[in-house]
Structure 1
Amino acid sequence: MMTLKHLDSKPRHLVFSKFEKLIAFMNDQKTGITLREKKNFLTTVHDSFTGNDFINWLTEHVCDNDPLEAVHLATFLVMYGYIFPIDMKSFVAKDEKSTFYKFQSPYYWPSKNMKLSNEKYIIYLLKRSKRNKQKHALEEYEQNTLAKLQIVFSDKMGFLTKQAEEQVRQVKDMKRADKVVHDLQERAFWRVYRPPPGQVKYLDEGPARCFQISQMQQRKKKNKELKMKEVEYLRQAISKPRMKLSKSLEIMFGNCEQYMKYDPLLNDKVAQPSNPWMTEDQTMWDINCDMVEVPTEIRLRKWALRFEDLLRDDTGRNEFEMFLKKEYSQENIRFYKACRQLVTCPTSDVNKWKTEIEKEFLTPGAACEVNIDCKTLEMVHQQLKTDKEVSSKTRYIFQPAMEHVYALMKKDSYVRFLRSDQYKLLIERSQSVFTKKRFFNFGSNRKKAPSPQVQRRGSASSDGGGVEGELVGGPAYHSYSTGNLKELDDKPKTAVRSSNSPSLRRRTNDLEGKVAIGSDPRRRSNLEVPRSSYTSTSTTDAARKSEHVAQCIPLNVPRTNVVTPWEGES
């Protein structure tokens, strides 16, 4: 009989035991399947049966006259290795009279061979490679596997080859009929455990279970005490008041509708300044960090829904603590935070936090003594006396006092905080930051003004005199060339040189020579704006300036801040 530990080591034995009972029922001489002989021109295989007999027997005795279910069950018996086809080319269950099957030997059942090593498999492949190539030739995937295993076991190939040769020698001493059956059984066994690529391996163990079968068996053995505890639990559960399902659903729907307005996934308007799930703008994550200087208006409005939402937000809890500090009741929120820290702290720090909370908040005359009623305080002190060792109840030892302080803050301080000037000022600041001053002007409904035409500024040389930078009085002048312009700055980009500088005298002489020849020195690849420094250099520059103004074409356009020099005659 199988023990519980044996079931734990072989967790699929319960499945295999059902298959083995079915195989024993099929081998029964009276009610079992009809056995025949498979005759070939060389050998005869005894105790075999056709696929038609196989399916019909399962349909009649097991599957309640359902042929499809019988084929399904027959496929499982073949794939698990309890029955194998004599023709290995088609390793499936078929409802045909020409296909013969045979029962597998109990030695090769899955319940007896759960774990097999690669050393046994390479010995089997070497044994087949040393026998007749026509009858025992390896398939393509088996040849590839043998080549890989020879590389892995290169240091053991001599020992493995000797074992394969010894097994071949033993097979040769067997009778022909026994030799054929033995070869078929061994080949079917390895076909199940090492299937070809693309075929499902039914004996794959898969992930390990998180429980043992012995635990399941022990749970079924329930004694009288356990039954009495279950009865008492159910009796108390019946006596407790329960909320109706319709009422709970109504509350849940109300909460969903209330919080839907503040969910950025469901409401696009909540995502400020833009939806980060739709765009690449990550500003929303920055302005909704845990601690920010100015929270968004949506975040502030959410604080007013519930007191839990305010305490869950780090910024809201900080603002609420500042408000309580102004009202000289900061010890309430500090005591609440310390109790929450005691619940989540490591086990090694439980005694430390318990002592500090008792000393700072619950000792008479302490600096931050909490104002709670005498009955609750006495209950907490009594629990502190009885609780000497750290246990699971130690973390919740201040639970009565914490609930009292929480109710006090929720009914009194929280309501006054929502009506305070501090909360109103936060909303005003959030509106001025996130509403009036939009991020990147996303969502602005203001119509853009039409782009103005190119404005140009007249130079000092265009009105025959005047100071540089002043607007020209009179018609503006525009040249035929409109490309590659440079705007004038309020200040000249280069320093004005005096007329006595050697470099300026040399440039002036060169210009006069080029004008006399007929070439225009102002035709360059990049057009430049005439500078005012040339207007006061010499009389030659003044003559050239007046000639340039005369060649410009007057246009009735507004006065501009850019001037384009005349490029000269083409």
Structure 2
Amino acid sequence: MSGMESLDLQYRSLQTHKMEQIIGQMNSKKTGITHEFQPDPYLHYAFQGGTIVSWLQENIPTDNEQEALHMTELFLFYGYIFRITDSSQPYFKLNKTYWYRFQAPFYWLSKISKVDDIDYSIYLMKKNLRKGGFQTTDPENHIFTELSKSLNHKWKIIELQAAEQLRLERKRDEVDRNILRLQEEAFWKVYRPKGKVKYRLTDALPRNFTLKQIQVRREQMRNKMLEEKKQLEGQDVSSIVPELQTDPLLSSHRGDKKSIELIILYATNHVNYDNLINGDSMKNNWFASEKDTSVWEDDNTVCSQTGVTGPAPYPTLKQVRLWGTSMNHLIRDENGQKWLEHFMQKEYSCENFRFLQANPNPFCFDLAQEHIYNLVRTDSYARFLRSSDYLTLLNNAMKASSTHQTK
């Protein structure tokens, strides 16, 4: 199997999975199609074409009747539904004289991925025995003759198997026999189409729209996305917050609403530290004619080298303020770890932080390690932000920032 054939098989398996999910919903007793009582036993559990189209329009978000008709034709094309009246017609029609039934899950594409010539020969042999022989103009007559030659060594077994299946079918009710025959016929129309009919599993799918209509749709979607992008470019975070809070879609999903609130809170806290969130058109120092080293130091949020006094270099103003937003930012910074450890040495609680440094992954902590992690986060970190050490760092960073600006 080539790469394109393998990719095409994966694509079609995904499409058949989606179709089978929809068919399962249609066949459900709660949400599926309601079958009206019919006096004819042959029409029990049957439905008309308009019923399935109406169900698709109500349960699938589409107002286009043409799209619902196209989906119904695909169900018939792949054998998920079959016609029980005038089954020779290969196409779907909204005709009240045409009745349909759901195919048994045993014959679904996901259940039987590949069939062999022996099964098809048994089917043709049963059909031949029912009719008393194929006509010479029947396209299946030529196929039947070719299979009898290629499977000559197994033909006797095929005849016995077909005769036995027919014997068991005759014990059933007449209506059941006809329904089983139509189910089997619909299955082989997919895997062994006769004449010039398309092979369902390899040939191109029937198009719902022409290529020109698809191009117009893509152009409309592209223009719509560009308009939305222009509207969002002129907005900041503070203007988007009330819109998200009053969005009716968020009120119906509390979990999603809580996640959006956390994202908004994170964006609000980091709007001054992340240029991607802020959206400011700051000058790019890489392309500047004269490199300004103060730009690097003012925008640095990792590890600064602006000073050497104390246990570690003094951080920048942006760096100090970022430490105040979350303990994770503080301990993720190599410089911040040293200043926090320096403060905790004064508090005689440095062993807690060193225990945390030995294994910084909170997902593999045992109870003792998790207790120490929470102790550092709830107690030591809060006292560090209120301590004189943090105020000293903040004042020094503000002085250094003002000095760079005056230069």
Higher helix share: 2
TM-score for both structures, normalised by structure 2: 0.45
